[in-house]
Chain A
Amino acid sequence: MSQIPAELKYVSSHEWIRDEGDGIVTVGITEHAQELLGDVVFVEAPEVDSEVDVEDEIAVVESVKAASDIYAPLAGTITEVNEELEDSPELINSDPYGDGWMFKMKIDSGDLDSLLSAEQYAEEIADE
């Protein structure tokens, strides 16, 4: 069973969201998602300062075999991307909730409650 940290929020497309306060969130993909993908070899990050709407395709994670879209979990503006991933995309495999984070964004509204809790996300992936 893959790890699903209780303090994070989730969306069913396998992104995790950490509330950093002041309307800023950090986004990555879950351990379950990286297990499905296998060895990650390329990450196309979103553009800093771009405005995104909820469920927009804003980034791509590619494993050797397949490409996977990353969706904006909320509406807002991208404030920072993890540049480490450019040279070390495998961080997504080795540390999905830590060094493998993908981007930070300032969200339009503070409504993180619309997202899935760890428990709800665990239920979602149990049905897959």
Chain B
Amino acid sequence: MGSKTPLYQAHVDAEARIVDFGGWDMPLNYGSQLDEHAAVREAAGMFDVSHMTIVEIKGSEAKPYLQYLLANDVAKLQESGKALYTGMLHEDGGVIDDLIVYYLNDAHYRVVVNAATREKDLAWLENVAQQFDVSVEERSDLAIIAVQGPEAIEKAQATFSDEQKAAVSELKPFMAAYAGDLFVARTGYTGEDGYEILVPDNKAIELWNALINAGVKPCGLAARDTLRLEAGMNLYGHDMDETVSPLEANMGWTIAWEPEGRDFVGRKALTEQKANGVARKLIGLVLDGKGIMREGQEVVLNDEVVGVVTSGTMSPTTGKSIAMARVQRSVDAEDVLVQVRKKQIPAKVVKPSFVRKGKSLI
């Protein structure tokens, strides 16, 4: 038996198919992942992502600590509630995890890390914290519900009190605010607008049910994966990990090189990589023929294996098989072949962003 989120019983009651996800019993789908995917693209769906780990970073040196810990620079965060996406790197530049950090004040930041990486993340956070006057405190008393889709904000707000609505009415993308006992962030992982709502765990089911009554469809991790891949968003452990540089995973934009004086873990390695060029890059693929690309399949060019699919699926929105693949940096072709089971099938090389705001980009 795995760990259970505060919403576990709600998933069972809704007859979700429960699977093990990094030690957590999580809903894979509630019947049809295609219906759930469509709900997020066309109206509003929600995900229980309470398995993700929330960490409070507090103390007089919270800011210099995170400036040293993370490749992106938390000094960019000036306004309370502002969020930043960043990698947390090893000295050699490999990605320990990707995460979102929310700024509350100079002595208090909130970090949300992946579920499957919880233990090593916490160990790393604690390890680096020894050099700073900070406390690293895991919050296990909060659940997280991600409400996503073109109608997500309207439908979520329908469950809020007037005070809560007022607190979030001016919330811009990548901003968060307290709304009563909720912490509401306008962030997400589907390529749609929406909120990620942190809620006290004893109120999670109440909020979940209120969202259902407002017309938000419960969605499982299966739909979450097809949605994030269509949006071209990396998944840790698939599209990048400790053996991959952020420069090889389209995460170059998350590295804050300026100011030059800011030292951060991995900076030296990344600087060398930038000067010498990295060996690989992440590309998007759209399959021309019939079949479905899957993680681990080889990418072939001129009879040579030049890379591997890191995430692949059938894209429900476009009806085509899409994938992200890590290939040699020298690959400059418009078309490659992918070894899909026993056949080599042509695939178009595209930017790894396939669907945005419900519209196909391919």
Contact = CB atoms under 8 A, between A and B. Distances in A.
Interface of A: 38-39, 41-42, 44, 60, 62, 64-67
A42 B290 contact: yes
B223 to A, nearest CB: 9
Interface in B317-351: 341
23 contacts: A38-B17, A38-B28, A38-B32, A38-B33, A39-B32, A39-B33, A39-B34, A42-B292, A44-B290, A44-B291, A60-B341, A62-B291, A62-B292, A62-B314, A64-B33, A64-B226, A64-B314, A65-B33, A65-B225, A66-B294, A67-B292, A67-B294, A67-B341
B89 to A, nearest CB: 30
Interface in B275-294: 290-292, 294
Interface size class, chain B:
10 to 19
A65 B66 CA distance: 37
B313 A65 contact: yes
Interface in B9-51: 17, 28-29, 32-34
B215 interface: no
A9 to B, nearest CB: 28
A75 to B, nearest CB: 21
Contact of A64 (B290, B291, B313): B313
Contacts of B294: 66-67
Nearest to B292: A62
Given A41-B292, A42-B290, A42-B292, A64 B341 contact: no
B158 interface: no
Contacts of A66: 294
A65 B291 contact: no
Contacts of B32: 38-39
B316 interface: yes
B182 interface: no
A42 B314 contact: yes
A38 B19 CA distance: 13
B171 interface: no
* 10 interchain residue pairs of minimum CB distance: A39-B34, A41-B314, A62-B292, A64-B314, A42-B292, A39-B32, A65-B222, A64-B33, A39-B33, A38-B33
Interface string B220-255: 001001100000000000000000000000000000
Contacts of B17: 38
A8 to B, nearest CB: 25
Nearest to B316: A64
Nearest to A62: B292
B69 to A, nearest CB: 34
A44 B291 CA distance: 8
Contacts of B33: 38-39, 64-65
B174 to A, nearest CB: 29
A41 B313 CA distance: 10
